[in-house]
Structure 1
């Protein structure tokens, strides 16, 4: 049985659904959701894919100034959990986090599955900072995503220190996680 993270509703506040990924939850039957306005809808799940593009024609914002401000002052976790044995690996080819980088940047990530498993591209999750602001859809709108990796060009980033966490699962339900910290000058 493949065990992948499920998207769960964690709260409804002022008509806004707050969603979270849960790796321990079991899939459940769709339920009707009633909004504060009394409208009832049947949730639908679907995979959305953007056209594979190189995004080489225009710059786009990976992180906004408001997201940086929200993330400031939050302390990083004291530890990072160990990945399960046989979990896929995530290799960051670009940007080179060992030295300061200039915006816009090219993002090139490589995935490697282990033990005969395959990478599930739709499982990718990309978050910014210690508050884990989900920027997955923003990146995917400008990226080419395959089971081998992800590539996006012309991502604009404000100056400063940044932390991005990448997660991806394989066909055996094992999740890899990679924290990329870098400085933009």
Structure 2
């Protein structure tokens, strides 16, 4: 399947998914997700060109981040700094601490069912602390909640999560190093 055919198939499926989900009075973003899962390489496998899908997905992420970037300017971000670095920091660190301790407690309580080291628990908790800015912003914009007080708080948390991804992406490979090199790898990270 050529790149053009792949793009046209995904666009047609996305349009049909959005129309279906809107007729069911469900969010269109959910239609995009369901269509992506159904026609992707692991369900119906209509698109076997995984390299083409990867490039198409990268373009989609770039465009979504561009749209999010258009929503914000520097004065607006400065005005939201309490939400970003206060509430956002609290959400990410609180979720990571809670998920790490819960994973480790479960590993201690049931080692045959849940065998997990602290490095794996920390990486898992980092993933659990994140959410999709693109999806949440799209849903909030559709509901006209971007300028409400709770919308500003949600945006602050989402922006901090976006900022926290970079240190987490650096931290996770460092956690995989040998115990003798762990401290050095963490310091370099």
TM-score over 0.5 (shorter chain): no
Q: Which has the higher helix share?
A: 2
Q: Which has the higher strand share?
A: 1
Q: Structure 1-normalised TM-score?
A: 0.24
Larger relative contact order, structure 1 or 2 (CA cutoff 8 Å, min sep 6): 1
Indicate the structure (1 or 2) with the bigger Cα radius of gyration: 2
Q: Structure 2-normalised TM-score?
A: 0.23
